[in-house]
């Protein structure tokens, strides 16, 4: 059952109906995607959604364009669905509505691209019309264009894949919305000792007192273990009816502060992106 399938009835029953009625996501429809000749580009869309681009291979991560009130992003969605560039593949981390957005996936115009999902989700994507779906689980691999995709463990309340992407002699870790687990991160480090970039969740999100992802301080601890060349904070900015839904206040600022306490130089590794903003990395 999805995140909203489990929690929405309880939230509505606790007086959230008025919030659901007035919440409408904002989409930056005039924002355009600008392709780059960089060896790696990451464009943050909103929350846990991003475009990750290697030369000749562009991937869309967890597209979320149809939030279900009363939960949704507090920020504008940085790139509209119609303004996205052509993709070579889709990556889905798990089946919570803010990562497995069924309405968006049904409406996505290109059903022939490769979709990589956790084991057990393939049949649902096939019913939506996708013709090239690959299910993988921990340490299994798939190929999308020039990029090797490895599923890595994640600690969450449903089955979830993190992903390590290898292409163009670069390695990128996508954490999904995993909770902090030192052993988990050490296991990833053991297999991928040199990460050029890591997308780490910093939302500190709780729904009815249940933690869903890392706090900024825990993300700083994860960085200290993984030691990526760059860290891109993401999976934050979720809003919902207080006090049933809470998230870290000023999460990016707190990440800077937490990393500065152990090593001020590590703050230079942080790449904080607004929705729709891109980071271009050259080797």
What digits encode the pLDDT tens for the residues 87-107?
999 999 999 999 999 999 999
The pLDDT value given to residue 12: 41
Q: Answer yes or no: is pLDDT of 28 > 90.
A: no
Q: With both helix axes pointing from N to C terminus, report the angle between 216-226 and 182-191 in degrees, rounded to the nearest 10.
A: 30
Cβ 239 vs Cβ 247: under 8 Å? yes
Task: Tell me, rounded to whole angstroms, the distance of Cα 69 from its chain centroid.
Answer: 20
Q: Which candidate, 283, 88, 138, places its Cα nearest to that of 196?
A: 283
How far apart are alpha carbons 255 and 276 in whole angstroms?
21
What are 144-155's pLDDT values in tens digits?
A: 999 999 999 999
Residue partners of 13: CB distance under 8 A and separation at least 6: none
Q: What is the pLDDT of residues 197-256, one digit of tens each?
A: 999 999 999 888 788 899 999 999 999 999 999 999 999 988 888 888 899 999 999 999
Q: Which of 68-82, 174-188, 236-250 ranks highest by mean pLDDT?
A: 174-188
pTM of the predicted structure, to 2 decimals:
0.92
The answer to whether 40 touches 91, Cβ cutoff 8 Å, is no
% of the chain beyond a pLDDT of 70: 92
Q: Which residues 6+ apart lie within 8 Å of 160 measured at CB?
A: 93, 94, 118, 154, 176, 177, 178
Higher-pLDDT residue of 9 and 240 is: 240
Categorize the per-residue pLDDT at 23 as very low, low, confident or very high, splitting at 50, 70 and 90: low
Within 8 A by CB and 6+ apart from 105, the residues are 63, 125, 128, 130
Distance between CA atoms of residues 141 and 169, nearest Å: 17
Set out the domains of the chain in order of their start, with CATH numbers.
Answer: 3-12+38-281 (3.60.15.10)
Q: Can you read off the two tokens belonging to residue 135?
A: 């299910």
What mean pLDDT, rounded, does the chain reach? 91
d(CA 147, CA 264): 33
Region 115-123 average pLDDT: 97
Q: How far is CA 252 from CA 49, 152, 202, 214, 239, in A?
A: 17, 25, 8, 13, 16
Determine what percent of the chain falls in helix, strand and coil, rounding each to the nearest 5: 25, 30, 45
- Taking the C-alpha atoms of residue 183 and residue 171, their distance in angstroms, rounded to an integer, is 20
Give the pLDDT score at 69: 81
Peptide bond into 70 cis (omega under 30): yes
């Amino acid at each position: 059952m999805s995140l909203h399938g489990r929690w929405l009835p309880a939230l509505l029953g606790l007086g959230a109906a008025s919030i659901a009625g007035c919440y409408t996501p904002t989409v930056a429809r005039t924002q355009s995607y600008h392709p780059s000749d960089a060896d790696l580009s990451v464009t943050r869309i909103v929350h846990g959604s991003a475009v990750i681009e290697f030369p000749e291979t562009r991937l869309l991560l967890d597209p979320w364009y149809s939030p279900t009130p009363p939960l949704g992003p507090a920020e504008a969605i940085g790139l509209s669905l119609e303004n996205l560039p052509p993709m070579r593949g889709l990556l889905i981390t798990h089946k919570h509505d803010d990562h497995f957005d069924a309405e968006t996936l049904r409406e996505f115009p290109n059903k022939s691209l490769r979709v990589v999902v956790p084991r057990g989700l393939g049949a649902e994507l096939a019913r939506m019309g996708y013709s090239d779906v690959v299910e993988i689980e921990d340490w299994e691999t798939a190929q999308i264009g020039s990029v090797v995709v490895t599923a890595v463990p994640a600690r969450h309340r449903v089955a979830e894949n993190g992903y390590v992407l290898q292409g163009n002699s670069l390695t990128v870790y996508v954490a999904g919305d995993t909770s902090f687990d030192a052993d988990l991160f050490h296991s990833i480090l053991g297999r991928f000792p040199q990460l050029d970039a890591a997308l780490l969740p910093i939302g500190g999100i709780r729904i009815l007192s249940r933690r869903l992802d890392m706090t900024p301080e825990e993300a700083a601890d994860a960085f200290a273990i993984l030691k990526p060349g760059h860290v891109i904070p993401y999976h934050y900015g979720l809003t919902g009816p207080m006090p049933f839904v809470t998230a870290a206040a000023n999460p990016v600022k707190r990440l800077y502060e937490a990393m500065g306490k152990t090593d001020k130089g590590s703050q230079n590794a942080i790449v904080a992106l607004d929705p729709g903003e891109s980071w271009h990395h050259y080797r």
